[in-house]
Amino acid sequence: MSRCTVTGKPALNPEDASVPNFEKRPDGQYVDHWVLCEEEIARGFVRPLRKTYIHEKCSSITTIPAPIAATYARNPQYYGSTFCCACGDYFLVAEFLWFGTNVRVGS
């Protein structure tokens, strides 16, 4: 399964690194993330495409970029952690629910 980047830019870190570039934005989020390449996404989703989740710890809502949402829909276990905009950090996906559901992110 090939990995691409959200930005489409070449990775600065090796493909087995947790992120393609360890540089962070001022909000604490990495500047780029691994996603499944378009060819893999085209094989179809195994879960609904959802773009918004709630962090149970702080009850805040975060909306993710379309390529990350498509990666979750194709392979729900692809990520082990995800970002909370309110907390400004990454947490285990088990701490998040898809907005409007009781479904845990990553399941």
Between CA 51 and CA 66 the distance in angstroms is 7
Residue 104 lies in a domain: no
pLDDT of residue 78: 95
| Count of the separate structural domains present in the chain | 1
Name the 3-class secondary structure at 13: coil
Residue 30 lies in a domain: yes
Q: What token pair was written down for 13?
A: 């870190």
Question: Do 20 and 33 touch, CB atoms closer than 8 A?
Answer: yes
Q: Which domain holds residue 18?
A: 3-98
Residue 106 lies in a domain: no
Q: What is the pTM of this model?
A: 0.91
Between CA 9 and CA 12 the distance in angstroms is 9
pLDDT in single tens digits along all 107 residues of the chain: 578 999 988 888 888 889 999 999 999 999 999 999 999 999 999 999 999 999 999 999 999 999 999 999 999 999 999 999 999 999 999 999 999 999 999 99
Residue 72 lies in a domain: yes
Residue 105 lies in a domain: no
